Amino acid sequence: MSRIIPSDVPRSDNPEYLRLLYCLVCGTIEELPPYDGDPEHDQLLEITLEHHIFPSGEPHKGHLFRVPLDEWGRDDVRKNMIEQIKGGGSKGIAEFDADYYATSDTFMEDALKCFGRHLRPQDGCPDYKTEKMRLLPSTKAERKDAGLPDPKNAPGPRNYLCNFCPVQSIVDQKLRGARGLYR
């Protein structure tokens, strides 16, 4: 049986994991990278939650899970985890369309679209980690009302769409080569 770790378990107890956001309204499961900082500064989660709002402005309800990365990578275990997260029961529309409840990695999908728009660069990208590629939630007004800094200046990690792009692996490889980590 696979393990689903509640989101409040510290990273030190599970060093290799990813997060899954399950929206009870949409019935979707979205993959998010690990984050261990202050929840108020989890900008990738904030950006993802922007898609889960009723027209009235009320947020959808959902759950955030941590799952071991090695187990999530196995198709049979992933299917079992999805069944556990969704609570079993009726398969709903999945009985007619097997891919209907597929999970999505929103940031990876957006990065691959950008990678394609830039004609799949192999020697770096002109937009690599520029300000326009920075991922910021659209909570500027709410943060101002609460006395919090603008998301651009908020403490916490700076997230870029580039972190999810194949160009990032090229950049990482060049950095490791410059450090003499390859023979």
**Distances in whole angstroms, Cα of residue 71 to Cα of each of 57, 80, 82, 103, 106:** 36, 10, 12, 15, 20
The domain segmentation of the chain, as residue ranges, is 5-95, 107-178
Neighbouring-strand partners of residue 20: 31, 65
| pLDDT, averaged in runs of 10, over the chain (183 residues) | 48 69 91 87 90 89 91 89 77 56 76 92 91 87 81 84 91 88 80
Using DSSP, state whether 160 is helix, strand or coil: strand
What pLDDT, on a 0 to 100 scale, did the predictor assign at position 88?
61
What pLDDT, on a 0 to 100 scale, did the predictor assign at position 29?
92
Neighbours of 53 (CB within 10 A): 12
What pLDDT, on a 0 to 100 scale, did the predictor assign at position 4?
53
Between CA 78 and CA 97 the distance in angstroms is 18
Q: What is the pTM of this model?
A: 0.58
What pLDDT, on a 0 to 100 scale, did the predictor assign at position 129?
94
What pLDDT, on a 0 to 100 scale, did the predictor assign at position 1?
37
Between CA 78 and CA 91 the distance in angstroms is 16
What pLDDT, on a 0 to 100 scale, did the predictor assign at position 100?
53
